[in-house]
Amino acid sequence: MSPKVVLLDIEGTVCPISFVKDVLFPYALAALPGVLETQWDSPEFAQYRDAFPKEHAVTPAALADHVKDLMARDVKISYLKSLQGYLWDRGYKNGELKAPLFPDVAPKFDSWRRQNVEIMIYSSGSVPAQKLCFGYTSSDPSNLLPYIADFFDTVNAGPKMESTSYEKIAAKHPEHPPAEWLFLSDNVKEIEAARAAGMQSYIVERPGNAELSEEARKQHRVIRSFDELSE
């Protein structure tokens, strides 16, 4: 069945994993001290500070240490993701950051739109961070937000390795039953969770991604480019 909705992961699917680990993470860590120093008591920053566990939000130093620890361990937790999105916001808007999308992504977005296929995003990064990623890209056009119908993260949908999260996403758009959805990700467990929820799901194998097992290759369709998807 041709999909009516394409649900996309970001890291390792539409852009290199290295962009997150080698560019976005260091940028957030570098920007954090200045933000803590100048905005600790500001109403704008309060929502991000107060989302942290109380013991880690007592002082700027305590919060900074906790952030460094979480990021060193690549812990995917909502309050950290929200803070990261806030820190990245100024980097994208002042031109220091651009999401380096794989070259097949933007043309495929245009192709899907011409076919009336809806594009939606599901990432562990916060929805605001997702919108920055697609609003400031290396593609032409740079802003791909007009192509995207909806955004999901671990806050509004749930953990990406649980089938109930995909069921929740599909339930928000009841005009499209799960069988009409295609989920694309580099993560095998996410692919399996989406399939358990009734969605079509393929593994995306990009340069820099973790090596896939032979078992994964046998059990799932693997694509290396969105160009491999039929028109």
pTM confidence score: 0.90
Distance CA 39, CA 51 (A): 15
| Nearest Cα residue to 28 out of 74, 217, 206, 54 | 74
Beta bridge partners of 230: none
pLDDT in tens, 194-220: 999 999 999 999 999 999 999 999 999
Return the amino acid letter for 158.
G
Instruction: Please give the structure tokens belonging to residue 196.
Output: 């358990």
Residue 217: the pLDDT is 96
| Nearest Cα residue to 95 out of 140, 32, 138 | 138
Beta bridge partners of 152: 122
pLDDT in tens, 180-195: 999 999 999 999 999 9
Q: What is the mean pLDDT of the chain?
A: 96
Q: What is the mean pLDDT of the segment spanning 76-87?
A: 92
Residue 125: the pLDDT is 87
- Predicted confidence (pLDDT) at residue 231 exceeds the cutoff of 70: no
Rg for the chain, CA atoms, rounded: 18
159 alpha carbon, distance to own chain's centre: 12
pLDDT in tens, 143-169: 999 999 999 999 999 999 999 999 999
pLDDT in tens, 38-51: 999 999 999 999 99
Instruction: Please give the structure tokens belonging to residue 53.
Output: 């566990």
Instruction: Please give the structure tokens belonging to residue 200.
Output: 């079509």
Q: 221: burial class by Cβ within 10 Å (0-12, 13-18, 19+)?
A: exposed
Q: CB within 8 A of 177, min separation 6: which ones?
A: 170, 198
Q: 113: burial class by Cβ within 10 Å (0-12, 13-18, 19+)?
A: middle
